[in-house]
Amino acid sequence: MNGEQIPDQKLKNILDAVQLAPSSFGLTPYNVIVVQDPAIKEKLAPHCYNQPQIKESSALLIFAPWKNINDDHVDSYMNEIAATRGIPTEALGDFSNIIKGKVNSNSPEDLHVWASKQAYIALGFGLAAAAVEAIDSTPMEGFNPAGVNEVLGLEAKGLSAVCILALGYRDAPNDYLANAKKVRRDKEKLFIKY
């Protein structure tokens, strides 16, 4: 990426798409950390194997699922639904019990995997929104989560980074792959039709 900053409105549109991404039950069991501060990106770089897009991006979106999903999260979500839709919280009892059943019948590890999958759905929406906004993006798993968590203080917030979305503009003159043909598995090998 070339370091050029993307317009605020384009970033807002991408963040709106991430916010509106579907998630199981609508719970959205993750946070998205938006990093634009060059000093923080500098600290993150070694934990991201010094991949250039970490420092050269306009913004990094770090998707961090909740580590310990519990009844309090569900109750908070029910209160948000009630306030937004103007209905009594009591009317959501059955829905709340369904979600709490999921939360209380799975191990914290299984819930973290589930929350991570929800974060990846939001990542996909961020990628699509970036394409619509003509912003280049790089989804990333190539980083040391413990190091990223430490730099951002995520453990204290009950979060753990699982993926990063770097946003910016490609550095076409200096990127030997910028004009190379994309190589992916042939459709005949990728898609199985019935």
pLDDT at 164: 98
Residue 3 lies in a domain: no
- pLDDT tens for 121-132 read 999 999 999 999
Three-state secondary structure call for residue 136: strand
Residue 1 lies in a domain: no
Residue 34 lies in a domain: yes
Mean per-residue pLDDT for 30-49? 98
| Rg of the chain on CA atoms, in Å | 19
Which helix (H) or strand (E) segment is 33 a member of?
strand 30-35
Residue 145 lies in a domain: yes
Residue 185 lies in a domain: yes
Instruction: Identify the domain containing residue 140 by its residue range.
Output: 8-190
Residue 180 lies in a domain: yes
Half-sphere exposure of 41 (CA within 13 A, CB side): 21
Residue 2 lies in a domain: no
- pLDDT tens for 139-165 read 999 999 999 999 999 999 999 999 999
Mean per-residue pLDDT for 110-131? 98
**CATH assignment at residue 50:** 3.40.109.10
Quote the CA–CA distance of 86 and 89 in Å, as a whole number.
9
Looking at the structure of the chain, the number of domains it has is 1
